[in-house]
C-alpha cells in the first residue's frame, strides 16, 4: 500500500476467516506523524437485511478517506443466497463499493493483492 491505512473489517460469515487471516500482521498502519491517512473497510461474508443497517452505521462512523472492499461472492452479490428473502444481494445495495474480490471464499492472498493495488480512496462516507 502506498499510504498508511487502517483496516476495519465487518466479518459476517465464512469469508471472515479468510479476511481475518489476511488481516493478521497488517494492523493499523500510521505515517511518521502518527496519523492514519485512510481506512479500508472490508465487508466479508453474507449481508443480511437485519445486519445491513449496522454495517451502514459502521461505515458512516469512519473518518476520512474510506475504501470499501466487498470480499467474496456473498458480500458482492449475495453469493449462493442471492435469492434468499433474508439476504441483501451485495453490500453495494447498502454503501458504495470500490473494490470487489471474487471467490467463495477468496483466499487471503487475494485480499492482500487487492490491498496492494487500491484505487484512490473516496473523500469519506457518502450517501448511497
Ligand atoms: S462467499 Fe462463500 S465462503 Fe464467503 S461467506 Fe458466502 S458462502 Fe461463505
Backbone angles phi, psi at 118, to 5 degrees: -75, 150
| Cβ of residue 72 lying under 6 Å from some atom of ligand 1 | yes
What is the span of the domain harbouring residue 24? 6-116
CATH number at residue 82: 3.40.50.12280
Number of domains in the chain: 1
| Cβ of residue 14 lying under 6 Å from some atom of ligand 1 | yes
Q: What is the pLDDT of residues 75-121, one digit of tens each?
A: 999 999 999 999 999 999 999 999 999 999 999 999 988 888 876 65
Q: Is residue 105 assigned to a domain?
A: yes
Mean per-residue pLDDT over the chain, rounded: 85
Average of per-residue pLDDT across 12-29: 80
**C-alpha to C-alpha distance for 3 and 59, rounded to whole angstroms:** 20
* pLDDT of amino acid 68: 95
The total of other beta-carbon atoms located within 10 Å of residue 108's CB is 17
Average of per-residue pLDDT across 22-32: 59
Q: Is residue 124 assigned to a domain?
A: no
Q: Is residue 126 assigned to a domain?
A: no
**C-alpha to C-alpha distance for 89 and 5, rounded to whole angstroms:** 28
Distance 34 CA to ligand 1 centre (A): 36
The pTM of this model reads: 0.85
| Cβ of residue 102 lying under 6 Å from some atom of ligand 1 | no
Are residues 19 and 111 in contact, defined by beta-carbon separation less than 8 angstroms? yes
Amino acid at each position: 500500500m502506498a499510504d498508511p491505512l487502517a483496516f476495519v473489517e465487518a466479518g459476517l460469515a465464512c469469508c471472515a476467516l479468510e479476511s481475518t487471516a489476511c488481516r493478521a500482521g497488517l494492523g493499523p498502519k500510521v505515517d511518521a506523524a502518527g496519523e492514519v491517512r485512510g481506512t479500508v473497510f472490508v465487508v466479508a461474508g453474507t449481508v443480511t437485511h437485519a445486519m445491513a443497517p449496522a454495517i451502514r452505521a459502521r461505515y458512516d462512523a469512519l473518518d476520512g478517506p474510506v475504501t470499501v472492499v466487498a470480499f467474496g461472492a456473498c458480500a458482492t452479490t449475495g453469493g449462493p443466497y442471492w435469492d434468499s428473502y433474508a439476504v441483501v444481494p451485495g453490500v453495494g445495495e447498502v454503501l458504495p463499493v470500490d473494490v470487489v474480490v471474487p471467490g467463495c471464499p477468496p483466499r487471503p492472498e487475494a485480499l492482500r493483492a487487492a490491498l496492494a493495488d487500491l484505487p484512490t480512496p473516496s473523500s469519506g462516507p457518502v450517501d448511497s
